[in-house]
């Protein structure tokens, strides 16, 4: 299936030369040969580029009608006749770049939609698009080349760097953002965190949440995900950190560079992640923990203790991954034994 032109920008055809330049792949083909787009192996035709990065799909490669395929040198010999190998040490990355060449992100259409509500003293960068019914608060500063989607709300004083995208219905307040930050639809950034004291009569009194949110360059926040502002210190997501949909980030959480936090995971207040930490889907971390660089937390894990750098954990409560699976296997074996027993 080629990308539907009703929904995806088309920037083809492209020459092989342009494809190789964009992707870093190499090929012996004619640099002037033209391709129309990208498609999966099973569906690609002679004018389309496909890719393979898993031996499991070698049969699909052998049957493919694709005009060209990105793959590693080790698999090049398996490309069928008529299918030009584009060699790359990182085929998935190379293919991502080729797909982006044919289907670049929509560029902002500079200007402010007449239905948007923009404060008189907000500063809007060159080339930025403010969509219909967006709201830009007093003193906000929006960098150049940003895309502010329909119904997005940028609060008073918020700063966005160049090339940010605040998409439909997202809201951001109490926040300073670097360049190329993306809030997907319905993301919530900067609202009050969950903190309160108990009065003698049992009533809750809100602890004022006096920090902000800092989103570094290239941070992405998934649809309907939430990032609360700090209570006294700030909530900080490091460069390139990506949150999937429906993730919860409590107040004062800090992450390093390139953390990956998958759908419906949650991180409680004041926990700190190092660089390149992975938190898989539906996992949860309690508050005030420290997680080291490159640690990986398995899906649905419940983390109640610090995790050293490089450690993988699993389970609820979580254990180092080998211990967790040993416990699971032990229990299954014991349960199996009881099968024939009277109880």
**What phi and psi, each to the nearest 5 degrees, are found at residue 3?**
-65, 135
Closer CB to its own copies, residue 16 or residue 98?
A: 98
Q: Is 63 in the site for its own copies (CB under 8 A)?
A: no
Q: Is 334 in the site for its own copies (CB under 8 A)?
A: yes
**Residue 261 CA: distances (Å) to CA of 38, 73, 185, 298:** 28, 32, 17, 11
Nearest distance from residue 310's CB to its own copies, in Å? 15
Closer CB to its own copies, residue 80 or residue 117?
A: 117
State the catalytic residues: 251
β 226-227/188-189 pair status: parallel
Count, residues near its own copies per rule CB under 8 A: 108
Site residues for its own copies, 153-182, by CB under 8 A, read: 153, 155-157, 167-169, 171, 173-174
Question: If you write DSSP's letter for every residue of 271-299 in order, what string do you get?
Answer: -EE-TT-EE-TT-EE-TT-EE-TT-EE-T
Q: Which residue has the tokens 């429906």?
A: 246
What binding mask, one character per residue, do residues 221-240 give for its own copies by CB under 8 A, x or -?
-xxx-x-x---xxx-----x
Q: Which residue has the tokens 């709300």?
A: 153
Site residues for its own copies, 301-320, by CB under 8 A, read: 302, 316-317, 319
Q: Is 186 in the site for its own copies (CB under 8 A)?
A: yes
Q: Is 194 in the site for its own copies (CB under 8 A)?
A: yes
Q: Is 299 in the site for its own copies (CB under 8 A)?
A: yes
Nearest distance from residue 76's CB to its own copies, in Å? 20
Site residues for its own copies, 1-60, by CB under 8 A, read: 1, 3-4, 6-8, 38-40
Q: Is 198 in the site for its own copies (CB under 8 A)?
A: yes
Q: Looking at 218, 253, 273, 277, which residue binds its own copies (CB under 8 A)?
A: 218
Query: In sequence order, which residues have a C-beta less than 8 Å from that of residue 173 and are 6 or more positions away?
Result: 137, 153, 155, 156, 158, 189, 190, 191, 229
Q: Is 290 in the site for its own copies (CB under 8 A)?
A: no
Please, which residues bridge with residue 272 across strands? 254, 290
State whether residue 201 is helix, strand or coil.
Answer: coil
Q: Looking at 250, 270, 272, 313, which residue binds its own copies (CB under 8 A)?
A: 250
Closer CB to its own copies, residue 27 or residue 301?
A: 301
Query: In sequence order, which residues have a C-beta less than 8 Å from that of residue 214 and are 6 or more positions away?
Result: 175, 176, 177, 234, 235, 236, 237
Of the candidates 179, 175, 274, 276, the residue with the CA atom closest to the CA atom of residue 226: 175
């Amino acid at each position: 299936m080629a990308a539907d032109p009703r929904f995806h920008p088309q920037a083809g055809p492209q020459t092989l030369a342009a494809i190789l330049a964009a992707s870093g792949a190499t090929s012996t083909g004619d640099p002037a040969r033209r391709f129309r787009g990208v498609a999966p192996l099973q569906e690609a035709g002679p004018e389309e580029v496909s890719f393979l990065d898993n031996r499991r799909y070698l049969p699909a490669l052998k049957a493919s009608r694709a005009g060209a395929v990105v793959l590693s040198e080790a698999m090049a010999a398996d490309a069928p006749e008529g299918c030009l190998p584009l060699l790359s040490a990182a085929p998935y990355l190379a293919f991502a770049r080729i797909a982006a060449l044919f289907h670049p992100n929509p560029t902002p259409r500079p200007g402010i939609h007449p239905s948007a509500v923009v404060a008189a003293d907000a500063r809007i960068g060159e080339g930025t698009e403010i969509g219909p019914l967006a709201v830009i608060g007093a003193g906000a500063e929006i960098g150049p080349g940003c895309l502010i989607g329909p119904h997005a709300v940028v609060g008073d004083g918020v700063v966005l760097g160049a090339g940010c995208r605040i998409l439909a219905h997202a809201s951001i307040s109490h926040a300073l953002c670097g360049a190329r930050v993306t809030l997907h639809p319905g993301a919530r950034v900067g609202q009050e965190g969950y903190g309160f004291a108990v009065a003698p009569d049992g009533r809750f009194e809100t602890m004022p949440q006096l920090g902000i949110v800092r989103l570094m360059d290239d941070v992405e926040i998934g649809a309907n995900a939430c990032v609360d502002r700090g209570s006294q210190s700030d909530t900080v997501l490091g460069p390139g950190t990506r949150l999937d949909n429906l993730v919860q980030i409590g107040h004062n959480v800090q992450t390093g560079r390139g953390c990956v936090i998958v759908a419906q995971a949650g991180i409680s207040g004041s926990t700190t992640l190092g660089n390149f930490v992975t938190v898989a889907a539906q996992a949860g971390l309690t508050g005030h923990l420290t997680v080291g660089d490159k640690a990986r937390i398995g899906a649905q894990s419940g983390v109640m203790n610090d995790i050293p750098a490089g450690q993988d954990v699993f389970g609820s409560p979580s254990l180092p991954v080998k211990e967790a699976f040993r416990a699971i296997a032990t229990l299954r074996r014991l349960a199996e034994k009881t099968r024939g027993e009277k109880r």
